Amino acid sequence: MLKNKVALITGAASGIGQAIALTWAREGARVVVSDINAEAGQQTADLVRDLGGEAFFLQADAGSAIDHEELVAQTLRHFGRLDVACNNAGIGGAKAATADYPLDAWEQVLRINLSGVFYGCKYQIAAMLQNGGGSIINMASILGAVGFAGSPAYVAAKHGVLGLTKTAALEYAVRGVRVNAVGPAFIETPLIERLKQDEAAYGQLVGAHPAGRLGKAEEVAELVTWLASDKASFVTGSYYPVDGGYLAR
């Protein structure tokens, strides 16, 4: 689906980001892997090459406009174009009620999870316009659509990602740049592995999903890959939950 496309992904060192990078490689993309964790990010690039794909790694802070600008510039220098991007990097942040939420934690979550997506879109769109269009997928969350007690910064940022996605999609649809958002529920990642030590809490988390299980990173990657491809050529400005029925309740 992505043969010879140049595809950039942030937060690709592990979890959903790594799964997307590997799926894109299997579909024929040339992959630019980015993460703040240099060692783990390089390992993802190596895994792509082990699959026979073409990849290189660039370290970047997703909350830095300068890093995003340089990330896109390096992609253009290396591959000559940018066709696909996934703004996947994000953090969970502190857990506290709104009145007790630490100010520094609020600013950090908004910087990475919302401003970082804006910075990505800003420079990615400009690059895609040079070659007649492209596809951007912003990683939101089920919490981009509903609230969640104890996570005001994360919820606010992910709601913001949906608004940004819709606005950018309207602005650039006629110029060939599609912008969509994906909303995973709770996905089996290294972060969730720690929760398994508390069987009651893990069971409660699983029970919140009508499918009776948590999602897999590869399941999110398959949807992101479809949105990235020309098979989704009439799809823009949309939000796609990958949630095992979580939002249907």
Give residues with Cβ within 8 angstroms of 155, minimum separation 6. 143, 144, 147, 148
CATH number at residue 143: 3.40.50.720
Look at residue 119 and tell me if it is in a domain. Answer: yes
Q: What is the pTM of this model?
A: 0.96
**Once rounded to an integer, what is the mean pLDDT over residues 25-54?**
96
Give residues with Cβ within 8 angstroms of 163, minimum separation 6. none
Listed residue (55, 80, 78, 69) closest to 124, CA to CA: 69
- pLDDT for the residue numbered 193: 76
Q: Give the integer Cα–Cα distance in Å for 212 and 195.
A: 17
Tokens of 186: 């709770």
Catalytic residue among 119, 154, 172, 240: 154
Whether 154 is catalytic: yes
Q: Give the integer Cα–Cα distance in Å for 248 and 145.
A: 11
Look at residue 55 and tell me if it is in a domain. Answer: yes
**Once rounded to an integer, what is the mean pLDDT over residues 57-86?**
98
Q: Give the integer Cα–Cα distance in Å for 135 and 235.
A: 10
Residue 30 to residues 15, 86, 108, 117, 176, Cα–Cα distance (Å): 20, 14, 31, 22, 20
Look at residue 1 and tell me if it is in a domain. Answer: no
Look at residue 125 and tell me if it is in a domain. Answer: yes
**Once rounded to an integer, what is the mean pLDDT over residues 109-122?**
98
Q: Give the integer Cα–Cα distance in Å for 88 and 137.
A: 8
Q: What is the mean pLDDT of the chain?
A: 96
Look at residue 212 and tell me if it is in a domain. Answer: yes
**CA 249 to chain centroid:** 25
Work out the pLDDT band at 107, boundaries 50, 70, 90.
very high
- pLDDT for the residue numbered 190: 73
Instruction: Determine contact, residues 237/165, Cβ cutoff 8 Å.
Output: yes
3-state secondary structure of 63: coil
Q: Give the integer Cα–Cα distance in Å for 10 and 113.
A: 11
Q: Give the integer Cα–Cα distance in Å for 122 and 126.
A: 7
Residue 92 has pLDDT above 90, yes or no: yes
Total domains in the chain come to 1
